[in-house]
Amino acid sequence: MTETATHTAGTFTPPARFAVPGRIEVSGRAATTWRTATLTEIRRETPRASTFRLAVPGWAGHLPGQHLMLRLTAEDGYRAQRHYSLASAPDDSGHIELTLDRVPDGEVSGWFHTVARPGDEIEVRGPLSGFFAWPGDRPALLLGAGSGVVPLMSMVRHHRARGLTVPLRLLVSARGPEELIYAREYGTETTPVFTRTAPAGVPVGRLAPGHLAPLLADPPAGGWEAYVCGSNAFAEHASRLLVAAGQPVDRIRIERFG
135 counts as binding other proteins under rule CB under 8 A:
no
Question: Alpha carbon 186 to chain centroid distance?
Answer: 16
User: In one letter, which amino acid is 54?
Assistant: L
Measured from the CB atom, the residue of 93 and 232 that comes closer to other proteins is 232
At 233, which helix (H) or strand (E)? helix 232-244
Task: Tell me which residue of 61, 220, 246 sits closest to 139, measured CA to CA.
Answer: 220
Q: How many CB atoms are located within 10 Å of the residue 230 CB?
A: 25
255 counts as binding other proteins under rule CB under 8 A:
yes
Q: Give the whole-angstrom CA distance, residue 107 versus residue 78.
A: 12
Stretch of residues binding other proteins (CB under 8 A), selected from 42-50, 89-97, 116-124, 198-206: 116-124
Handedness of CA 176, 177, 183, 187 (dihedral sign): positive
Measured from the CB atom, the residue of 82 and 160 that comes closer to other proteins is 82
Shortest spacing between CB 157 and other proteins, in angstroms? 23
Stretch of residues binding other proteins (CB under 8 A), selected from 26-34, 150-158, 159-167, 188-196: 26-34
103 counts as binding other proteins under rule CB under 8 A:
no
Shortest spacing between CB 220 and other proteins, in angstroms? 21
257 counts as binding other proteins under rule CB under 8 A:
yes
128 counts as binding other proteins under rule CB under 8 A:
yes
Give the interface size with other proteins as a residue count (CB under 8 A): 66
Measured from the CB atom, the residue of 81 and 191 that comes closer to other proteins is 81
CB 175 within 8 A of CB 209: no
At 182, which helix (H) or strand (E)? none
CB 67 within 8 A of CB 126: yes
Measured from the CB atom, the residue of 12 and 57 that comes closer to other proteins is 12
- 225-230: strand order across its sheet: 190-194, 168-174, 140-145, 225-230, 252-256
Give the binding site for other proteins (CB under 8 A). Answer: 1, 3, 5, 7-9, 11-12, 14-22, 26, 28-29, 31-32, 36, 69, 71-83, 107, 111, 115-116, 120-123, 128-132, 232, 235-236, 239-240, 242-243, 249-250, 252-258
